[in-house]
Amino acid sequence: MATPATALHRADGKPPRVLVVDDEQMLTDLLSMALRMEGWDVRAAASGFQALQAAREFEPDAMVLDIMMPDLDGMAVLQRLRQSGNDVPVLLLTARDAVSDRVAGLTAGGDDYVTKPFSLEEVVARLRGLMRRAGTAQASDAEPILRVGDLSLNEDSHEVERAGTEIELTATEFELLRYLMRNQRRVVSKAQILDRVWNYDFGGRSSVVELYISYLRKKIDQGREPLIHTVRGVGYMIKAPQ
């Protein structure tokens, strides 16, 4: 069976604190809900100035920070945080996918980024990794490894191996594989995959799922006993060979 993600806690034993900053109320609510389901203490801010105030008062262990905001954008918030000596790990949210924008965010002091649209599970996984690497939160148990047969996936380091051989995946391929492995031996439909892997309001077609399943099969199953199976008319399932 898939190993559940291990719970994180602060050095004082309390849940990690995460500050979510975005001016889109619906997105803030969704992110906050997903993070609270992890058992984390969450506070939201709708503007750059609110974010700076909340960072001082709330003292978060990690921050989700949108780049595009009307009053003080994410870059400016990040620069002010770093100039004041605040080294809280920051996960940047951006609608921009240009390399120059990503480099600018990381150069300004960001620790990681996701581009919109994104999956909520990806944000949670990235935050877990940021807090553990920064030492602001730690796990009670071992590394959160998902396993199906000789296939393993590390949710924190994003490393994937099959029979000891490392497999390079794109971010979307990784999220798709993670979702399948978390639902080992359970059939998941194309609609479920679109909803959980792509994003909260993805308007795409089921053909994109078929395309990415084919990508995964080439990397995971080609030349090996297959783990990913199609259940015709229903969806897909991953399971270890009998």
The CA–CA distances, whole Å, from 133 to 56, 61, 126 equal 22, 12, 11
Over residues 68-72, the mean pLDDT reads 86
- Flag whether pLDDT at 122 surpasses 90: no
Residue 41: partners with Cβ closer than 8 Å, 6 or more residues away:
14, 15, 16, 17, 18
- Here the CATH number for the domain that contains residue 17 is 3.40.50.2300
Name the more confident of 52 and 71. 52
Given a contact cutoff of 8 angstroms between Cβ atoms, the answer to whether 181 and 153 are in contact is yes
1 lies in a domain?
Answer: no
Single out the residue in 111, 139, 167 at which a domain terminates.
139
Single out the residue in 139, 169, 202 at which a domain terminates.
139
pTM over 0.75: no
* Residue range(s) defining the domain that contains residue 73: 8-139
Over residues 233-239, the mean pLDDT reads 93
Read off the pLDDT band of 142 (50, 70, 90).
Answer: very low
Q: Do 85 and 33 belong to one domain?
A: yes
**Each residue's pLDDT tens digit, 107-119:** 667 888 888 778 8
Q: Do 106 and 220 belong to one domain?
A: no
Single out the residue in 88, 105, 139 at which a domain terminates.
139
Q: Do 61 and 105 belong to one domain?
A: yes
- Flag whether pLDDT at 152 surpasses 90: yes
3-state secondary structure 213-239: HHHHHHHHCCCCCCCEEEECCCEEEEC
**Each residue's pLDDT tens digit, 153-185:** 988 788 999 999 999 998 788 889 988 998 889
Average model confidence (pLDDT) across the chain: 84
Q: Do 50 and 92 belong to one domain?
A: yes
Over residues 95-99, the mean pLDDT reads 62
**Residue 119: its H or E element:** none
Q: Do 12 and 124 belong to one domain?
A: yes
Q: Do 164 and 202 belong to one domain?
A: yes
Report pLDDT for 228: 97
**Each residue's pLDDT tens digit, 29-57:** 989 998 998 889 999 999 999 999 999 99
Report pLDDT for 71: 87
113 lies in a domain?
Answer: yes
Q: Do 124 and 27 belong to one domain?
A: yes
Read off the pLDDT band of 65 (50, 70, 90).
Answer: very high
Burial class for 57, CB neighbours closer than 10 Å (0-12, 13-18, 19+): exposed
Q: Do 125 and 24 belong to one domain?
A: yes
- Flag whether pLDDT at 201 surpasses 50: no
Q: Do 204 and 121 belong to one domain?
A: no
Q: Do 135 and 210 belong to one domain?
A: no
The CA–CA distances, whole Å, from 34 to 10, 47, 66, 88 equal 19, 20, 17, 20
160 lies in a domain?
Answer: yes
2 lies in a domain?
Answer: no
- Flag whether pLDDT at 103 surpasses 50: yes
Report pLDDT for 150: 95
- Here the CATH number for the domain that contains residue 181 is 1.10.10.10
Count up the domains in the chain and report the number.
2
Report pLDDT for 2: 40
196 lies in a domain?
Answer: yes
Q: Do 175 and 216 belong to one domain?
A: yes
3 lies in a domain?
Answer: no
Q: Do 127 and 170 belong to one domain?
A: no
